[in-house]
Structure 1
Amino acid sequence: MKEKSARGRPRQYDTKTALGAALLEFRRRGYTGTSLDHLSEATKMARPSLYAAFGNKRAIYLRAVAQYVEDSAERRDGALFDEPSLAAALDGYFLALVAIYSEGDDRPLGCPMLSVITGEATADPVIGAELFAALGRTDARFRDRIAVARDEAQLPPTTDIDAVAEMLSALQHSLAQRARAGTARPELERIARNSVALILKAAGAGTAP
Structure 2
Amino acid sequence: MVQNKEVRRRGRPPAYDAEQALARALETFWTSGFEATSLDELSTATGMNRPSLYGAFGDKRALFLKALMAYRARGEMGLSQLITDNPSVRDALVNTCAAALKLYFSGEKGARGCFMTGAALVGAVSDPELREALLEGLEDIDRAFVALFEHGQRRGEVARDADPEALAFMASALLHTLSVRARAGAKQPDLVRAAAKGVDVLLRAARP
Scaled by the length of structure 2, the TM-score of the pair is 0.90
Instruction: Write out aligned runs for 1:118-197 (5 A).
Output: 118-197=121-200
Cα RMSD of the aligned pairs, angstroms, is 1.6
**Whole-angstrom CA distance in 1 between matches of 2:108 and 2:178:** 19
Q: Give the length in aligned residue pairs.
A: 200
Partner of 1:28 in structure 2? 31
Q: 1:46 aligns with which of 49, 52, 64?
A: 49
**Whole-angstrom CA distance in 2 between matches of 1:126 and 1:69:** 15
- The one-letter amino acid paired with 1:69 is R
Q: 1:37 aligns with which of 20, 36, 40?
A: 40
**Whole-angstrom CA distance in 2 between matches of 1:14 and 1:189:** 37
Asked if the contact 1:76/1:96 (under 8 Å) is kept, the reply is no
Asked if the contact 1:80/1:89 (under 8 Å) is kept, the reply is yes
Partner of 1:81 in structure 2? 84
Deviations along 1:33-87, one digit per CA (max 9) or x if unpaired, are 1122221111111001001000111211121222233334443222112212110
**Whole-angstrom CA distance in 2 between matches of 1:171 and 1:191:** 9
**Whole-angstrom CA distance in 1 between matches of 2:155 and 2:65:** 38
- Over the matched positions of the two proteins, sequence identity in percent amounts to 38
SS of 2:90's equivalent in the other structure is helix
Q: Structure 2: which 5+ runs fail to align?
A: 1-8
SS of 1:121's equivalent in the other structure is helix
- The one-letter amino acid paired with 1:105 is E
- The one-letter amino acid paired with 1:186 is P
SS of 2:194's equivalent in the other structure is helix
**Whole-angstrom CA distance in 2 between matches of 1:199 and 1:169:** 11
Asked if the contact 2:79/2:144 (under 8 Å) is kept, the reply is no
Partner of 1:97 in structure 2? 100
